[in-house]
Amino acid sequence: MRPSITFFRGLAVALLAGGGASPARAQADTAWSALFRMDLDSARAIIAADHPGVLDRQNPAFARTLATAYQEALRAVPRIDSYNAYAIALARFGNRFQDAHLNVGGNRPVMALRDAGIEAVFRGGAFLVEWADTRYGDRAASLRGATVRDCDGAAAERVFRERVLSWRGRPSVEADWHRFAPLLFHDYGPPTPPAPRSCRFATPGGVVALPLQWEPLDTARLAERRRRAAPPRTLSLEWMGDARTLWVSLPTFAVDDSAGVAAMRGVIDSLRAETGRGRDRRLLVFDLRGNDGGSSRWGDEIAEAVFGAEWARRRGSGSTTACTRNSVCRRTTWRRRGATRGSRSAGTARTARLPRSRVPSRTLWRRRSPGEAGCTARCGAVPGPPGRRPCRCRDASW
């Protein structure tokens, strides 16, 4: 099993052939379609061969999703005539699994082709107009704060799901509705659904039907307007209101450079100091808006700063220890890709630590488990050749 998926085997060639082409790119169109089919087949093969979900009898939906996502992607092949279409179709294939750790992406950004001159935000379960530009004349001011009711007869929520969340984001995660709401009035072209022609907006003066004015996207102007409307959030900590609410802003855990690490260290040190003073604190808020994750190390250190070191240590179980040991055995026996000496030594060290971590009545969390007989602690019982169903643990509490 691989921890990540990397492909785009022909991407460099295709970018050289079509990335710098003029808008009239008749000869490049079929190249993008062929490249998409090749990389789609590669992605499907990698997932089928290396992802444990394919073999998981307790999750039959995974294999069905793989099949249906692939068939959906195949239907898009005739419409792949540009890098945008290629990247969006592959992203949509990966997004069908609704797993932030299983996705498809590239280094070259995907840009909208047109925008309707309206910026939407998601608040209180509805899409509101943050601003409308001058192409709407006198109506622009009255649209500010209006609720987007529907577009071409379809509810705004449905339009957003089909045109945006179908290829980026997860409908079940409300944060993604907030994050991608500004894309409601952007048009990326095929294979996304056609852009709506008109929408209805609920204003204080009543419901207004408005034809949308689509124009080529001015990315520089849009970026500047967004910067003015919503300045970037930074790692910070401050007391709010009556000085009894401690607000911790954590827009990311993916800090890699020295400045980011220093900022995160500063927030954690300040949090530890503030929570250790015994101050009359009514509410502790962790503001994770826009946080896409990163290293779990920061989460561990934050938990330790708030609750203490004893409660921030993960605890193992018998089945977890056995399954970790079996994983190390499989990597050693099968010599599969990814089974490097470093990963085996790390797994061996983890296996040795887990039994010592089993301290009664001090588990950080518990999961219901029918017992620990599902996994064996002996390498001899591990399935041999790849493709056999590996050991499955019902209790993975570390």
Domain ranges in the chain are 11-95, 114-229, 236-312, 318-381
Tokens (6 digits) for 9: 């085997």
Token representation of residue 138: 């006198």
- Which residues, in sequence order, are CB contacts of 145 under 8 Å at separation 6+? 128, 129, 203
Which token pair is 25?
Answer: 């790119």
pLDDT of residue 398: 29
CA proximity to 18, closest of 74, 86, 92: 86
Q: What is the pLDDT of residue 20?
A: 36
Cα–Cα distance, 46 to 263 (Å, whole number): 38
Coil, helix or strand at residue 239: strand
Q: Which residue has the higher pLDDT, 333 or 74?
A: 74
What pLDDT score does 78 carry?
93
The CATH number fitting domain 114-229, selected from 1.10.10.1100, 2.60.40.420, 3.40.50.2020, 2.30.42.10: 2.30.42.10
Q: Is the pLDDT of residue 334 over 70?
A: no
Residue 364 is predicted with a pLDDT of: 42
Q: pLDDT tens digit string along 79-118?
A: 999 999 999 999 999 999 998 788 888 888 888 889 999 9
| pLDDT bucket at 223, cuts 50 / 70 / 90 | confident
Please provide the DSSP assignment of 58-77 as one string.
Answer: T-HHHHHHHHHHHHHHHHTG
Tell whether the model's pLDDT for residue 256 goes beyond 90. no
Whole-angstrom distance, CA of residue 376 vs CA of residue 303: 32
At 346 the pLDDT is 62
Query: At residue 310, does pLDDT exceed 50?
Result: yes
**Which has the higher per-residue pLDDT, 258 or 151?**
151
Report the range of poorest mean pLDDT among 164-173, 207-216, 269-278, 311-320. Answer: 311-320
Supply φ then ψ for residue 63, to 5 degrees. Answer: -65, -35
Query: For the segment 357-392, what is each residue's pLDDT rounded down to a tens digit?
Result: 555 544 443 333 444 344 444 444 434 334 444 444
Lowest mean pLDDT among 133-142, 187-196, 286-295: 286-295
Q: Is the pTM of this model over 0.75?
A: no
What is residue 271's predicted lDDT score, i.e. its pLDDT?
A: 92
| pLDDT tens for each residue of 5-48 | 443 433 333 333 333 333 334 444 679 999 999 999 999 999 99
Residue 72 has pLDDT above 70, yes or no: yes
Query: Between 36 and 288, whose confidence is greater?
Result: 36
Buried b (16+ CB within 10 A) or exposed e, 309-330: eeebbebbbbbbbbbbbbbbbb
Query: Across residues 348-362, what is the average pLDDT?
Result: 60
Closest CA to 180 of 190, 166, 201: 166
For the chain, give the mean pLDDT: 77
Q: Report pLDDT for 107.
A: 82
DSSP H or E stretch at residue 177? helix 174-180
Q: How large a percentage of the chain has pLDDT more than 70?
A: 68
Three-state DSSP at 118 gives strand
The Cα–Cα gap between 357 and 348 comes to 15
